[in-house]
Amino acid sequence: MQGKRILLIVGGGIAAYKSLDLVRRLKERGASVRVILTSGGAEFVTPLSFSVLSEEKTFTDLFDLKDEAEIGHIRLSREADLVVVAPATADLLAKMAHGLADDLASTVLLATDKTVLVAPAMNVRMWQHAATQRNLGTLRADRIHVVGPDEGEMACGEYGPGRMTEPAAIVEAIGALLGAKAAAPRATPRLVSDSAKPLSGRHVLITSGPTQEPIDPVRYIANRSSGKQGHALAKAAAALGAEVTLVSGPVTLPDPQGVRVVKVDTAHEMLAAVEAALPADIAICAAAVADWRAADEAPHKLKKPRQVSEATLKLSLNPDILSTLAKKGPKRPRLVIGFAAETEDLIENATAKRARKGADWIVANDVWPGTGAMGGDQTQIHLITAQGVEDWPAMSKDEMAARLLARVADAFAAMRPAAE
C-alpha cells in the first residue's frame, strides 16, 4: 500500500468515528489519505480530527472557491488511486445509485472514473429496506465494490446486518483492490485488463448443464438446460485469473479456454467429479441436476406393452450436490453458491433453498417458459445472500457471469484468511 493515494469519503453515521482508525491504519501502511467529510459526517466527527490524522486538509465544501478555481472535485478524484466511502450511509448509496451530485462527496463520486469501494453502515431496517437493496444491486451492477456490512449489536439497540465492517477488514479489502488492480475503470465495466486477476491462485469449481438420467439404453430423463450460464461463469472466472474446474453435463457448447473440463452424464457422476475436484476455494453450482433418476435402469430397450395405456416409472432421489458441497467440514469451499430455477414464488423458494442447503448465496432466476431464460442467452436474476435480496436488471448470461464473478472476487478479498 506504500505510496498509494486513498480518497476517503466519510458519511453521516455513528460509524464515522471508526474511520479515524481507518485513516490511522492506512497511514501506518504507507498510504496517503485525503478525506471528504459530508455535512452529516461532520455532525459525528470533526474535520480537524481527520486533518490531524491524515496530515492533509479535510474537504467539506463543493463551492470552496479556492479549490474550485482548480476544479477541486475533479482534482480530488484524479489524484487518487482508490476512492473509499466509509461509512457509506443509506443516503450516499442512494445518491450514487441515482447519479445525484448535490454536495462535494456525491459530486466526486459521480465524477470519478477510479475504482470505488463502499463500506455501508446503517440501522438494520434501513439496510434491509427494499430501496437500499435495490440501490446496492444497481451499484454492484455498476461495478462498485462493497465490503460488509457486518452483523451484530447496533448503536440503536437492534441486532442484525448493518454494522460497518471493522477498519482492519476494510484495509484488507483496500489492499486486495490495490494489489490486484482488480477493477477495470467503471466507465468500461465489461473490460478486464490482463493485470486484473483478483482470483489468481484460487480454485473455482463450477457445475454446468443438465444431467441425463438413463431409463434404458436409449431413453433418459433430462431438462432444457443449455449450460450457457455455467460455461459463461467458467469463462468469467478464468478471465479473473482463477484455476477453474468445470464439471459439465451433456451440452453442445465448446469447452471454455483455459478451463479444466470434466464431462459427465448423470447426477451421480457429477457428484463424484465434484468431490474429486475438491479442495476448491469457491463452488458455483449452476448445473440443472435432475432431482430424480429411474430407480431401475433397464439393461435393454423397454418394449411397449400391448393393450396397456398407462405405465409407471419408478423414480429414486438423486444426490444433492449443492448440499453436499455446503456441508460444514474441512473440505467445504469458503464460498458456496447455488442456483435456484423456479417457475413460481421465486424469491420465497430461493430464500428457503439457501437456508435448507446451507449455501452462502443463491442466484435465483425465473425459468417460466415465457422468460426464455432456460436455453436462451438472456437472464434476469435475484442474488440472495445473508444480507438480503438484490434484484439485478436483465442482461446477457455473459454479462451476468462477469458481474457475479467480480462480486465473488470482492467477497473473497474481504474474507478473513482461512485457518490453516
Which residues form the interface with ligand FMN (CB under 6 A)? 11-15, 38, 40-41, 89-92, 121-122, 126
Give min distance, CB of 64 to ligand FMN, in A: 16
What are the grid coordinates assigned to 302, written together? 423397454
Angle at 147 between CA 154 and CA 75, to 5 degrees: 115
What are the grid coordinates assigned to 401, written together? 457471469
Query: Measuring CA to CA, how many Å separate 286 from each of 8, 10, 227, 233, 260?
Result: 38, 39, 8, 9, 16
Give min distance, CB of 71 to ligand FMN, in A: 21
61: CB partners within 8 A, 6+ apart: 104
Neighbours of 332 (CB within 10 A): 18
285, 234, 282: which is closest to 412 by C-alpha?
Answer: 282
Closer CB to ligand FMN, residue 12 or residue 256? 12
249, 296, 294, 243: which is closest to 273 by C-alpha?
Answer: 249
Strands (E) across 236-332 are located at: 243-248, 260-263, 282-285, 292-294, 315-317
Give min distance, CB of 48 to ligand FMN, in A: 18
Closer CB to ligand FMN, residue 134 or residue 263? 134
399: CB partners within 8 A, 6+ apart: 190
User: Of 130, 156, 317, 394, which is the active-site residue?
Assistant: 156
Closer CB to ligand FMN, residue 28 or residue 43? 43
Closer CB to ligand FMN, residue 104 or residue 277? 104
Give min distance, CB of 174 to ligand FMN, in A: 20
280: CB partners within 8 A, 6+ apart: 203, 204, 205, 245, 333
241, 238, 142, 237: which is closest to 195 by C-alpha?
Answer: 241
Closer CB to ligand FMN, residue 121 or residue 205? 121
Is residue 156 among the annotated active site residues? yes
Is there a cis peptide before residue 333, judged by omega within 30 degrees of 0? no
Residue 287 to residue 226: CA distance in whole angstroms: 9
Amino acid at 418: A
Closer CB to ligand FMN, residue 14 or residue 169? 14
Give min distance, CB of 410 to ligand FMN, in A: 21
Closer CB to ligand FMN, residue 127 or residue 339? 127
**Please, where are the H alpha helices in 40-113?**
47-54, 65-68, 72-78, 90-98, 104-111
Give min distance, CB of 95 to ligand FMN, in A: 7
Query: Measuring CA to CA, how many Å separate 371 from each of 20, 51, 120, 229, 368?
Result: 49, 54, 33, 15, 6
Give min distance, CB of 77 to ligand FMN, in A: 17
Tell me which residues are annotated as active site: 156
